[in-house]
Structure 1
Amino acid sequence: MYYIDESGIPRTGFALYTAVGIPVADAPHILRTWQALREEWCKNHGIPVDYELHASDFLAGRGRPGGRNPLKIERYRMAQQALDLIGTHPGIQIVTVYTREPAHWGVAKRRAYDRLLRGLDRRLAEAGETARLVVDGDGSEHLYSEVHEQVRPGRIPVTAVEVPAHTSAWLQMADLAAYSACQAIAQQQSREFMWGWYARHLPKAAPPKPC
């Protein structure tokens, strides 16, 4: 199963997709480990276990989880803990694809998702496996079904299912990985503290691939 989230900077036409591959057999253990981390945050920082971890807001200091407002340095450390959890598990795969189309962010998104889908299909074919995709969304995005119909990936039998991220720990993991990849590439000055996170905390991830 691959869980997918997008990131990027719309005004510059920079679009990015990150897929986090979760082995079915390992999923229960990974989820228990994630739950234990969230319980630790609740105990130490007052952040409810079911509070949605949305990286761009959380790391910018927006939101008051559980009525509290953790210091930014605390938020940074928590995000790095979460990335370490993802990055140290031997079975988790992370794939990032990005592109730029300054005149049209929608075109960039479509191109990036197309290349991600083709890349995942090749990986699965080499491994002799099939997979399903879950992407953050509310069911209103036609891009995923349209690109799937065009690519017709043999190892991914059905189009991605859209699920709201606040209901899925897996998609929140993908969101954090995607945002880290975004900042590794875009290197916004306001997020300089994140520039090295993708390589440092997700060392087994394939380097982000331009298309």
Structure 2
Amino acid sequence: MTTHQSVDRTYYVDESGIPGTGLALYAALGVPTERAPEVLRAWRELRDQWYREYGVPTDFELHATNFLSGRGRPAGLNPAKIERYRMVQAALDVIGAQPSLSVVTIYTKQPAHWGRAKRQAYGGLLRRLDRRLAETGERAALVVDGDGSERLYEQVHRQVGPRCIPRPATEVPAHTSVWIQMADVVAHTACQAIARQHSRRFMWSWYSRHLPKAPAPERC
């Protein structure tokens, strides 16, 4: 976990969307600095349970799109799709059960230009987080999935100028951060709550059912 001594919480951010439809979405998982250890304990307990019940190693990267599609063989195993569905729903339940965590999801649709939609959605996320932080009197840091090559985050941060988020997002590869993997599960689930792809019909209600305290995805 990246440490930010001068902030009250860290938002871990991941994107989702469907380029062909112009749907772009960002989900942010807010983790209060002092509550992070207890959330990690709950997550590690879940991963230990997966290892005992399904043989999925505790360090196997959870990437929702691939995992739910049946891709990836943790430790050479290939859990049935129904088992993968149950594991991801259990992950959402753990996230939803943590009273200290907050979820913010922002999306937009621009069928003609998905890149523009991504910039708009990320800007909407920054504005929404900044308003929330101003209300609570907090300052926050942002960590996003990435390898450090994406210029969008710094550019949009400079344009929006969020007062309660002092610095642009830090990019961290998902395979090194369980927090980003949690955000990925939330983002993918939120995306299907909006897109309602027929092939993902089984997921349409997951966001509202397993994250009942999270606000509905907000369009910007």
Normalized against structure 1, the TM-score is what? Answer: 0.99
User: Residue 204 of structure 1 aligns with which residue?
Assistant: 213
User: Residue 147 of structure 1 aligns with which residue?
Assistant: 156
Alignment of 1:106-185 (within 5 A): 106-185=115-194
Matched, 1:60 2:69: yes
CA distance in 2, matches of 1:153, 1:99: 20
What's the CA shift for 1:23? 1.0
Q: Which sits farther off after the overlay, 35-44 or 184-193?
A: 35-44
Deviations 1:173-207 (A, max 9, x none): 00000000000000000000000000000011111
Alignment partner of 1:90 out of 95, 99, 115:
99
What's the CA shift for 1:156? 0.2
CA distance in 2, matches of 1:170, 1:66: 22
Amino acid at match of 1:88: A
User: Residue 3 of structure 2 aligns with which residue?
Assistant: none
Structure 2 portions without partners, runs of 5+: 1-9
What's the CA shift for 1:32? 1.1
CA distance in 2, matches of 1:131, 1:103: 33
User: Residue 27 of structure 1 aligns with which residue?
Assistant: 36
What's the CA shift for 1:5? 0.2
Deviations 1:54-99 (A, max 9, x none): 0000001111111000000000000011000000111110000000
CA distance in 1, matches of 2:174, 2:30: 16
| Percentage identity across paired residues of the two chains | 64
CA distance in 2, matches of 1:40, 1:198: 22
- Match of 1:90, SS state, is coil
What's the CA shift for 1:33? 1.1
Normalized against structure 2, the TM-score is what? Answer: 0.95
4+ aligned runs moved over 6 Å, structure 1: none
Aligned length: 211
What's the CA shift for 1:168? 0.4
Amino acid at match of 2:59: D
What's the CA shift for 1:25? 1.1
Structure 1 portions without partners, runs of 5+: none
User: Residue 51 of structure 1 aligns with which residue?
Assistant: 60
CA distance in 1, matches of 2:56, 2:105: 29
CA distance in 2, matches of 1:114, 1:39: 37
